[in-house]
A = this chain, B = another copy of it.
Amino acid sequence: MQNSKIRNMEELASVSGISRPTLSKYFNDPDSVRASTRKKIEAALETYDYRPNIYAMNQNRRLTKNIGIVVPYLADPFFAEIARVIEDLVIEGGFRPILLSSHGNSEQEIENLDSLQSIRPAGVLMAPLGRNSDIAAAERFCAEVPTVLFDNSIGDLGEAFFGLDNLQSIGTIVKYLCNTGEAPVFFEMRTPTNPNAYKRRNAYIETMEKLGLTPQLIQVDGDTWEFEKIGYEGGLDAIRTRQLNTNTVLCSNDRLAIGFLAAAYECGLRVGRGPSYALRVAGHDDHPYARFTCPPLTTVAQDYAAIATKSVEAILSLIESGERAKSRVTTLFSGKLIERVSA
């Protein structure tokens, strides 16, 4: 096994009989050296435990092998999941993911960008906070570092954007709800932190009007990322003050819906589809917990595997080309209706 440890490439060079520059080449890309050489190196690596000093490497390389991943709120399992997929793809691409959460806080988001900038990443994948983001700071960052946005977009920031087609996905579930029962009221935060939320509101209104129906909004207060709490408290209030004049509620996202379901339960309203139920509740996103709510939540699934895959592909090809995108491409994926028992 690991006999004596080796401290640097120089020493590895002497014990392996391969010159240091060739070793350097090998570590940057094992396939760039001759097969016979590669074998010798790998044989030496088996007996001598050695790995290049990552700091010395990155100091001298034009570009590091780091890719930053910034998400707005990691305690949200949705972002935890998408971050995990992205991490794996980044590793697969031969890069090193650096995951940072903004914890729903714009100052933290800037700090994250600052912190990333100091490690000179080859590229960054970022899901911005949205409304609260410091746009000027983000712009400055994007000018320095190739950045691909996902989940939600800010202006025309970044080289590309991958997200959800909110008009399609909200349209789908609104039509589904209308076809299977009463038209839905839209339950949302009054001043959401997230641009997607505005798009969903507009998509709801647009779809309802297209169907010849009158859109109705229930807008609740709250400006934190504790969506369940906001949905719960807003839901309690909406139910108790009889703001609902339909038996169908479409929540702007699943986390709000989870809170709303808790409120409905507390008020003794049975949620589900059919004559014996008081209320239908639907969400949006297919949150990891949506299938375990009571009752299981009807929602629209985001194809986050697609979002993750395409985002990573985009940043990798940007890095490989060494250039900036000629034009900012926006790619929107469709949502898929997930019919469960809540609506």
Q: Taking A118-B54, A119-B54 as contacts, is the C-beta distance between A292 and B262 under 8 angstroms?
A: yes
For chain A residues 53-69, which have a beta carbon within 8 Å of chain B?
53-56, 58-59
Q: Taking A56-B59, A59-B59, A99-B99 as contacts, is the C-beta distance between A259 and B77 under 8 angstroms?
A: no
User: In the assembled complex, which residues on chain B have CB atoms less than 8 Å from the CB atom of A58?
Assistant: 55
**Is A277 interfacial (CB-CB < 8 Å)?**
no
Cα separation A294 to B255 with both chains bound (whole Å): 14
**Is A328 interfacial (CB-CB < 8 Å)?**
no
CB < 8 Å neighbour of A292 from B59, B75, B258, B291: B258
B59 x A84 contact (CB < 8 A):
no
Cα separation A340 to B56 with both chains bound (whole Å): 55
B296 x A262 contact (CB < 8 A):
yes
Indicate with 1 or 0, residue by residue over A45-56, a CB within 8 angstroms of chain B CB atoms.
000000101111
- In this complex, the member of A74, A76, A118, A293 whose beta carbon has the largest number of chain B beta carbons within 10 angstroms is A74
Nearest-CB distance from A103 to chain B (Å)? 6
Indicate with 1 or 0, residue by residue over A276-294, a CB within 8 angstroms of chain B CB atoms.
0000000000001101111
Nearest-CB distance from A328 to chain B (Å)? 26
A232 x B292 contact (CB < 8 A):
yes
Chain B residue at minimal CB-CB distance from A101: B84
Excluding A55-B56, A77-B80, 6 further A-B contacts by CB distance (< 8 Å) are: A74-B74, A74-B80, A228-B292, A258-B289, A261-B292, A261-B294
Binding site for B on A (CB under 8 A): 51, 53-56, 58-59, 74-77, 80-81, 83-84, 96, 98-101, 103, 115, 118-119, 228-229, 232, 258-259, 261-262, 265-266, 288-289, 291-296
Closest 6 CB pairs of A and B: A75-B80, A265-B294, A55-B59, A294-B294, A262-B292, A55-B58
